[in-house]
Amino acid sequence: MIVAGLGFSNRATEASLVEAFAALQQRPDRVVTLRCKAESPVFQAFARREALHVQTLEDDQIAGVATPTFSPRIHARFNTGSVAEAAALVGAGKGARLIQTRYVTTDGLATVALAEMIER
């Protein structure tokens, strides 16, 4: 199973999310984001339009997750280097691996990463 982790600013537009999703190397089976972000009208409109299967996480579920990329601002707020990478890894389950590190949109308002669930 392929899982996309999505992080975005409150200032992100639907165009930000479209760009992030278009940067993915393959369409994910599921998109994982933080619950507080999933409640955003912009995200909800985007998810409906793309017919996405969405999973939400609480902030503390990504805390401490090691990621290959690192944002000092994100680390200070969430205790992880990348919301997108951490969300993808947690959403894909124990032993998951990233298959696409975070992509940052040109406006800097959204990030996305892909993880693969390891078959058990």
Dist CA 89 CA 94 (whole Å): 8
Looking at residue 120, what is its pLDDT?
56
pLDDT < 50 regions, the chain? none
Count of the separate structural domains present in the chain: 1
Dist CA 71 CA 85 (whole Å): 11
Full 3-state SS string of 20-40: HHHCCCCCCCEEEEEHHHHCC
Dist CA 85 CA 98 (whole Å): 7
Full 3-state SS string of 22-85: HCCCCCCCEEEEEHHHHCCHHHHHHHHHHCCCEEEECHHHCCCCCCCCCCHHHHHHHCCCCHHH
Looking at residue 118, what is its pLDDT?
79
Full domain range(s) for residue 99: 2-116
